[in-house]
């Protein structure tokens, strides 16, 4: 019982010290409110408001009709420019798409010929260029078939139904990914800075004089960071994601917060391990960059795991962030229950236990050295 009392009292001390850290409190408030709302409401992965210019060398009814079928919100209202301005407007980034309608285009099309329509794309705007070219190609192809009176019926009719996000709003996914990123960063920063601050101020040596063990000190850091981040995550989901952004979350909040606790157990243990390698808070901050960046970028939240090399997919299975991303989308969007996610929760627990044991051994060694 004394050990549990020690861990509890040490944790209360951590919460009190956090209470007076105004900079860290403001950062937490920003990370779980503004930093989630702005990307989710303002960022768009798909085609939105893409700029289009048209070089109309044909000056026919058909060429003018093509300009009218490209409408907001996917595309801006097309702007007509002369032929000599194609390269300058693309080089300057003024337009993403420039369509060149050649001379006699309408006459050749109505005569049964196959005239060419040139589309110039600024591929530096990768997301807009890749998907926008496909959108525009299908729109123009459909319009040209209707205007020319030539029907080319597809041999198969494909009906697509989107589950869990019927309007394919990218903000839904971005909000959850932003929470995952902020949970990871804050868990590491809270635990690591708290431990290094005590080392720099000399209070860690005071703790060692008391009848405390390295395990008790480490557990106190872990449970306080876990408690603070879980509460912030719950408030962010309820107030920012559900109410402010209006994103429906179908899954069990209790199950998701339980998964978040398992993930925080792993990430805070990783933070303790990193503090044993760094001797100051600036060193710790630099050390977290090459560790956190691959975890966040290669976890499946930014790019799908299936698009990565097979060896990298297997390697990222050792990262707790990979499992947390998968569990978050499964629970919050697909309403997956414990029966469907228990195996991944078990993998997350095993990774967390391994991180904790390695961090504990390194922490004990650092205290005696």
Q: Are residues 323 and 258 in the same domain?
A: yes
Q: Which of 123, 148, 173 is the last residue of a domain?
A: 148
Residue 172 and residue 276 in one domain: yes
Q: What is the pLDDT of residues 179-192, one digit of tens each?
A: 999 999 988 988 88
d(CA 165, CA 171): 10
Peptide bond into 364 cis (omega under 30): no
**Residue 83 domain boundaries:** 52-148
pLDDT band at 153 (very low <50, low <70, confident <90, very high): low
pLDDT at 351: 94
CATH number where 129 lies? 3.40.1710.10
- Choose the final residue of a domain: 148, 178, 202: 148
Q: Is the pLDDT of residue 196 over 80?
A: yes
Same domain, 211 and 338: yes
Same domain membership, residue 348 and residue 199: yes
pLDDT at 219: 86
Say whether pLDDT at 359 is over 60. Answer: yes
């Amino acid at each position: 019982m004394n050990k549990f009392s020690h861990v509890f009292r040490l944790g209360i001390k951590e919460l009190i010290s956090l209470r007076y850290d105004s900079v860290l409190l403001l950062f937490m408030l920003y990370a779980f409110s503004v930093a989630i709302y702005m990307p989710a409401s303002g960022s768009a992965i798909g085609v939105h408001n893409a700029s289009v210019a048209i070089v109309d060398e044909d000056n026919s009814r058909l060429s003018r009709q093509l300009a009218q079928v490209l409408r907001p919100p996917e595309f801006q209202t097309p702007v007509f420019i002369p032929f000599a301005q194609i390269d300058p407007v693309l080089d300057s980034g003024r337009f993403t798409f420039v369509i060149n309608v050649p001379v006699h285009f309408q006459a050749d099309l109505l005569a049964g010929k196959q005239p060419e329509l040139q589309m110039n794309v600024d591929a530096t705007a990768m997301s807009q260029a890749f998907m926008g070219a496909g959108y525009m190609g299908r729109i123009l192809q459909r319009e040209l078939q209707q205007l020319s009176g030539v029907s080319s019926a597809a041999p198969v009719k494909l009906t697509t139904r989107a589950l869990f996000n019927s309007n394919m709003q990218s903000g839904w996914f971005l909000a959850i990914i932003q929470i995952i990123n902020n949970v990871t960063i804050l868990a590491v920063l809270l635990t690591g800075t708290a431990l290094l601050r005590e080392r720099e101020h000399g209070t860690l040596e005071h703790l060692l004089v008391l009848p405390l063990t390295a395990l008790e000190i480490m557990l106190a850091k872990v449970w306080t960071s876990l408690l603070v981040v879980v509460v912030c995550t719950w408030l962010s989901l309820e107030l920012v994601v559900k109410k402010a952004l209006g994103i429906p979350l179908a899954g069990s909040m209790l199950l998701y917060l339980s998964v978040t606790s398992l993930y925080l157990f792993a990430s805070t243990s990783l933070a303790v391990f990193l503090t044993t390698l760094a001797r100051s808070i600036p060193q710790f901050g630099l050390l977290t960059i090459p560790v956190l960046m691959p975890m966040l970028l290669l976890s499946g939240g930014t790019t799908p795991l299936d698009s990565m090399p097979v060896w990298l997919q297997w390697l990222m299975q050792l990262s707790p962030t990979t499992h947390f991303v998968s569990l978050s989308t499964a629970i919050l969007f697909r309403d997956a229950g414990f029966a469907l996610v228990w195996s991944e929760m078990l993998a997350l627990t095993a990774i967390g236990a391994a991180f904790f044991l390695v961090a504990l051994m390194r922490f004990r060694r650092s205290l005696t050295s």
